[in-house]
A and B are shown apart, each in its own frame.
Chain A
Amino acid sequence: MTLPLLAVDALAVTHHGADGSSVEIIGDVSFSIGAGETLGLVGESGSGKSLTALALMDLLGPNLAATGTILLRDRSLGSLRPRERRRLCGSELAMVFQDPMTALNPVYTVGDQIAEVLLTHRLASRRPARDRAVELLGQVGIPHPSQRVDAYPHQLSGGMRQRVVIAIALAGDPSVLIADEPTTALDVTIQAQILDLLRELSAQRGMGTMLISHDLGAIAEVATQVMVLYAGRVVEHAPVDRLFAEAQHPYTIGLLSSLPKLGGREQRLSTIAGRVPLPGTVRTGCRFADRCPWALTRCRLEAPALTEIASGHRVACLRAPLLAPPSPGMAA
């Protein structure tokens, strides 16, 4: 196997309170992304998806600290000095943000903002930077790029702005692109276009992509492997086909069965009762036990380890592999 572009091992993010308390918000997150691969990161709100991305980008807020090792190609990001690490951001490692309405600086033209990346990382001087900006805008599917390069963000629609955000992320020719819910703020037809664009770009450039989404449809379409997060832990990690066909963790099964099915006859969508526990509230046992229809007494006492049950398929459940998943409708 070739060296993965991004390898993350035992990543944890801890919140250190002013009173000296510390709470682990995400823990033991490990994965790797190879060239052209897309890792889908799924989970409810508050499961730690975005925090994982921010930890990779070194954008954690005050009071938050990340531990674990992050290898970008063969460089360990944790051992770099802040200045060196910042230099990698935007060039080797880039991020697409959730809301294109606010992710662009409103007082500069989109061309200037793309050029800014090139100038910051000394990839081009001023004049070629502008040409490169036009070229990038064309690549992300913006019509008339040579005119739009001088447009201000408010002159563009949401979908166009998200394309610009992607163009900015691509400007440094990153080897890994992190997309944090890039389609959430867009309407459905534009969502599909943006996802197609991400898939194409990832294939064309041999880029590794991490796609964060709570939209399983988007994940199924774009991802090559899927990692399911719950309350800051990886509960299941599998190649995309396998995950959708043979999900093993009760939480994944719950997520999948809560999807509306085309032509389905059910009147109500099934849900997972309850909500994600707050960080630091589960001390023993499985974090999902309270919401799990299969939970045993053992589940509340013993935390399940992430174990590989098949090639590339890891599950953190004491009952895995579940031989015969019960019929959906796990919500009471």
Chain B
Amino acid sequence: MTPTGTGQSISPRSAKRRRRAKGGVATAMAVAILAVIVGVALLAPVLAPYDPYEVDLSAALQPPGSAHLLGTDMQGRDLLSRIMYGTRLTLLTSLTALVSGSVVGALLGLAAVFFPSSDAVIGRLLDILLSFPAILFGLALGASLGPGLLPVTIALSIATVPEVGRIARAAGLTIARQEYMQSGRAIGLGKTTLFFKYLAWNCMPTIFVFLTLRFGFIILLGAGLNFLGLGAAPPAAELGVLAAEGRNVLAFAPHVATYPSLTIFLLVLSLNVLGDVLRDKLDKRLL
């Protein structure tokens, strides 16, 4: 290769900078979208232009316009307001399920590492949970408890446990091999300190990144269960329910199903992008 002078050679540093800049734009957009969605959901009672449950049959199925920014549904309820409240409900159920499921999952996975004698039992338990599709759990719970948000949340929570459990166990096995676990024991630390401050805390980054990625999936799953009618029942405003309602009028009023679906899409996409970025950051630190 002959030196051709200006601009031909790309130094590794500038390539790295470019890559970082590209990742930076995606990250910034993901964060911005998430912030907007979450912010709007939190402030729904303040921001929503209408009552999400106020029926006005004379204004049914209006296309997006100046009176109703995103139009209205079959019963003339303002779609924008319903999406705001719907996002609130969706985020609340998914987050509850994610937090409860991951705490249980992480504790199980780490306990399997910390108390090797329990590994076989916990491992099989996680395998059993993993072999049931979450949808099936949702269906079963919905059938026995009746449809509602509680069975959906429980189903989502149970779906989170084995996945997080496995990740926590894998992360824990790596950490348990580190010399500081032994040196912690050598300075006479108690089991509680060793478990939480040494093992669990060091596994947190891995688990947390996984949860970010998992959150999107849980939202999707929850919306799916609600779409199927196992969760929140109409007229409750929930993104999956909204999408299901719009399905019937898709041919002549596509906006009713499209906007809630779009919200789910943006939410899940930005969470996944964020999860990927976090994972890359973590890998870089570990390398």
Say whether A106 contacts B179, CB under 8 Å.
no
- Give the chain B neighbours of A205 by CB distance below 8 A: none
- Give the chain B neighbours of A117 by CB distance below 8 A: 187-188
Say whether A105 contacts B186, CB under 8 Å.
no
Say whether A120 contacts B188, CB under 8 Å.
yes
B116, B179, B202, B204: which has the most chain A beta carbons within 10 Å?
Answer: B179
Say whether A108 contacts B197, CB under 8 Å.
yes
- Give the chain A neighbours of B202 by CB distance below 8 A: 105-107
Say whether A103 contacts B187, CB under 8 Å.
no
Within 8 A of A (CB), among B111-160: 116
Contact mask A78-112 → B, CB, 8 Å, 1/0?
00000000111111001101110011111110000
Q: How large is the interface on B (under 10, 10 to 19, 20 to 34, 35 or more residues)?
A: 10 to 19
Q: How far is the CB of B95 from chain A (nearest CB, A)?
A: 25
- Give the chain A neighbours of B198 by CB distance below 8 A: 105
* Interchain CB contact (< 8 A) of A89 among B178, B185, B197: B185
- Residue B49 lies at the interface, judged by CB distance under 8 Å to chain A: no
* Interchain CB contact (< 8 A) of B188 among A103, A108, A121: A121
Say whether B197 contacts A86, CB under 8 Å.
no
Count, A-B residue pairs, CB within 8 A: 67
- Give the chain B neighbours of A94 by CB distance below 8 A: 186-187
What is the bound-complex CA distance between A165 and B201, given in angstroms?
20
Contact mask B152-186 → A, CB, 8 Å, 1/0?
00000000000000000000000000111011111
Say whether A97 contacts B179, CB under 8 Å.
yes
Q: How far is the CB of A118 from chain B (nearest CB, A)?
A: 10
* Interchain CB contact (< 8 A) of B186 among A95, A102, A171: A95
- Give the chain B neighbours of A165 by CB distance below 8 A: 183
- Residue B92 lies at the interface, judged by CB distance under 8 Å to chain A: no
- Give the chain A neighbours of B204 by CB distance below 8 A: 107
- Give the chain B neighbours of A201 by CB distance below 8 A: none
- Give the chain A neighbours of B179 by CB distance below 8 A: 97-99, 102-103
- Give the chain A neighbours of B190 by CB distance below 8 A: 86, 120
What is the bound-complex CA distance between A88 and B197, given in angstroms?
21
- Residue A254 lies at the interface, judged by CB distance under 8 Å to chain B: no
Say whether B180 contacts A105, CB under 8 Å.
yes
B179, B186, B189, B201: which has the most chain A beta carbons within 10 Å?
Answer: B186
B182, B187, B198: which has the most chain A beta carbons within 10 Å?
Answer: B187
What is the bound-complex CA distance between A115 and B241, given in angstroms?
54
Contact mask A118-131 → B, CB, 8 Å, 1/0?
00110000000000
Say whether B193 contacts A116, CB under 8 Å.
yes
Identity of the chain B residue whose Cβ is nearest the Cβ of A121 in the assembled complex: B188
- Give the chain B neighbours of A168 by CB distance below 8 A: 183, 187
Q: How far is the CB of B186 from chain A (nearest CB, A)?
A: 4
Q: How far is the CB of B148 from chain A (nearest CB, A)?
A: 40
- Give the chain B neighbours of A172 by CB distance below 8 A: 187-188
- Give the chain B neighbours of A87 by CB distance below 8 A: 188
- Give the chain B neighbours of A89 by CB distance below 8 A: 185-188
Say whether A90 contacts B116, CB under 8 Å.
no
Within 8 A of B (CB), among A233-255: none
Identity of the chain B residue whose Cβ is nearest the Cβ of A100 in the assembled complex: B179
Q: A62-B116, A105-B198, A116-B193 are in contact. Are A97 and B187 (CB under 8 A)?
A: no
Contact mask A271-293 → B, CB, 8 Å, 1/0?
00000000000000000000000
- Give the chain A neighbours of B184 by CB distance below 8 A: 105
What is the bound-complex CA distance between A105 and B175, given in angstroms?
10
Q: A62-B116, A107-B201, A116-B193 are in contact. Are A102 and B187 (CB under 8 A)?
A: no
Say whether A86 contacts B201, CB under 8 Å.
no
Say whether A105 contacts B187, CB under 8 Å.
no
Say whether B183 contacts A116, CB under 8 Å.
no
Identity of the chain B residue whose Cβ is nearest the Cβ of A171 in the assembled complex: B187
Q: A105-B197, A116-B193 are in contact. Are A86 and B183 (CB under 8 A)?
A: no
- Give the chain A neighbours of B193 by CB distance below 8 A: 116, 120
Say whether A103 contacts B185, CB under 8 Å.
no
Say whether B180 contacts A116, CB under 8 Å.
no
- Residue A59 lies at the interface, judged by CB distance under 8 Å to chain B: yes
Say whether B189 contacts A103, CB under 8 Å.
no
Say whether A116 contacts B182, CB under 8 Å.
no
- Residue A57 lies at the interface, judged by CB distance under 8 Å to chain B: yes
- Give the chain A neighbours of B183 by CB distance below 8 A: 95, 97, 103-104, 165, 168
13 further interface pairs, Cβ-Cβ under 8 Å (given A86-B190, A89-B187, A97-B179)? A57-B186, A89-B186, A90-B188, A90-B189, A94-B187, A103-B179, A104-B180, A104-B183, A105-B197, A107-B201, A107-B202, A108-B197, A172-B187
Query: Mind listing 15 A-B residue pairs with CB under 8 Å?
Result: A90-B189, A91-B188, A94-B186, A95-B186, A97-B183, A98-B179, A99-B179, A103-B179, A103-B180, A104-B183, A105-B197, A106-B202, A107-B202, A117-B187, A120-B187
Interface residues of B (CB under 8 A from A): 116, 178-180, 182-190, 193, 197-198, 201-202, 204
In the A-B complex, the 5 residue pairs with the closest CB atoms: A90-B188, A90-B187, A102-B179, A89-B188, A95-B186
Interface residues of A (CB under 8 A from B): 57, 59, 62, 86-91, 94-95, 97-99, 102-108, 116-117, 120-121, 165, 168-169, 171-172
